[in-house]
Structure 1
Amino acid sequence: MGLAIAVGFLADMKENDEEGYEWAQHMLANVNRALSAERLPTWEEPEAVEVTLRPHADSFPYSFIHFLRRAYVLALAAPSDLPPTNGQLTSEDHERMEDESAMLASHLLCHSDAEGVYVPVDLAEPVFASPDSGVPGGGLIGSSQGLLRELRIVAPYLGVTLDPDLSDAEAARLDALGWDEENPFHREHTVFLALWEAARVSVAEGTAIVFT
């Protein structure tokens, strides 16, 4: 089992899974209701979308996202460099992430590891809907635009070049690095590329990112 990240979710369900399509309609409607309850903009999820994702890992262990979150939290302090892990996060790493998450401001940090939604709506901060709102992931709603902003912050500390965005050549390099277990940042590179691609398409096509 691992985390899979999808864009064009409703369109895919409509084409391939009638029962899943009905569930996706209901789930995304709950997300829009939660946004409306906070007097925030909503969006209309397309039922047909052209999703062109560059090669990346389709799924990865749930734990991998924590390594990218650690890198992001460290990057906020603008260190001279980013120390790699030895494949394990320390108690200090977890404390830093918990402290930053408590600010309730980060789209990357304030989100479920296993399920949930990022919407193609530019939100300054994530939305914390009621747990009984029908929004997966405990009611946490992130913004695809906000997620991209945070990925831009951590990118240079992972050796990722944005000029001003992620080029095809750089995306291919990151994909290769993600599969190289000798690379001390292979987990971070894997998750960075998967999230970048999902957020890029989400913003361009007006479709939500769905964690499953």
Structure 2
Amino acid sequence: MGLALEVGILADLKTADEEGYDHIREQLSLVNQLLAANQLPAHNEPEEIPVFSCGMFGYSGLHYLRRIAAHLLVNDAVPEPCVDQPTEDPAMFDCYDEIATMQDARSDEWKRFDHLLCHSDAEGYYLPQEFDEVLFDLDDLGVAGFQVGSSVKLLQECTTLAAALGMPTDLDPEDPIFYEAATNQGTGAGWQRYGMECYSCIRLISAARHSIEHGAAIVFT
């Protein structure tokens, strides 16, 4: 078990899971209430598009990539690959302390990875429209994951991280090279030393591209 990404979830559930389809439609209605509260356009989820789905590397894989973002914010440098417990890195503590204590007082430079960092690692949504600030369900509408991000911003952030790692972004996320690198974390050469980070990054990039192209939400499940 672990985190999975899906784009085109209503298209997927429409004929396969009536209860799941109704649940997601209700969730997206709540998301639209959150958008309206932030003076943003409603999201209209398509139901007739090709479905993109992929698994992440358990639930921990995402945190390896977030650690890279944290180091770029805190130390302005890419660290050595992490081989265990990325959430225990001091840069992660410093980064999230800054987010928690400073919030909107942070500079734009400090907010440049917010859509990756300020989102649930287990559930929730990214929408195919551009907005700078991550949306928080402060009125307790019941939006899964509490935070809603922008697929456009997520793509920008992950592309920046890919460049920092030297990872090509034109490869198929299911290319065996990514799984091999992830299972040999910290070894090899170049970007493949950052196997867990790149495994997560290429999947987020692919999901965000599909989201933007087809006007559908990325759903974390």
Structure 1 and Structure 2 fold alike (TM over 0.5): yes
Q: Which stretches in structure 1 are left out of the alignment for 5+ residues?
A: none
Q: 2:60 aligns with which of 38, 63, 68?
A: 63
CA distance 1:172–1:24, change in 2 (3 Å): closer
Distance 1:207 1:95 in 2: 33
What whole-Å deviation, never above 9, does each CA across 1:60-119 have from its counterpart, x for those lacking one?
21111111001112234542x431113233340331331353346400011011001001
The alignment yields a C-alpha RMSD, in angstroms, of 2.1
Quick one: percent identity of the two aligned structures? 39
The code of the aligned residue for 2:184 comes to E
Distance 1:131 1:176 in 2: 44
Q: 1:154 aligns with which of 143, 155, 161?
A: 161
Per the alignment, in what secondary structure is the counterpart of residue 6 of structure 1? strand
Q: Which residue of 2 aligns with 1:191?
A: 200
Per the alignment, in what secondary structure is the counterpart of residue 5 of structure 2? strand
Q: Output the TM-score relative to the length of structure 1.
A: 0.86
Q: 1:95 aligns with which of 93, 96, 101?
A: 93
Asked if the contact 1:148–1:199 (Cα under 8 Å) also holds between the matched residues in 2, the reply is yes
Q: Which has the higher contact order (CA 8 A, sep 6+)?
A: 1
Asked if the contact 1:129–1:140 (Cα under 8 Å) also holds between the matched residues in 2, the reply is yes
Q: Which residue of 1 aligns with 2:7?
A: 7
CA distance 1:131–1:83, change in 2 (3 Å): farther
Distance 1:96 1:61 in 2: 24
Does residue 1:108 correspond to 2:116, yes or no? Answer: yes
1:175: Cα distance to partner?
4.8
Does residue 1:141 correspond to 2:148, yes or no? Answer: yes
Q: Which residue of 2 aligns with 1:129?
A: 137
Q: Output the TM-score relative to the length of structure 2.
A: 0.82
Distance 1:51 1:149 in 2: 22
Asked if the contact 2:115–2:153 (Cα under 8 Å) also holds between the matched residues in 1, the reply is yes
CA distance 1:188–1:8, change in 2 (3 Å): same
Per the alignment, in what secondary structure is the counterpart of residue 107 of structure 1? helix
The code of the aligned residue for 2:164 comes to Y
Asked if the contact 1:5–1:198 (Cα under 8 Å) also holds between the matched residues in 2, the reply is yes
1:5: Cα distance to partner?
0.8
Q: Which residue of 2 aligns with 1:84?
A: 81
Distance 1:116 1:202 in 2: 14
Distance 1:131 1:189 in 2: 35
Report the number of matched residues.
201
Does residue 1:25 correspond to 2:32, yes or no? Answer: no
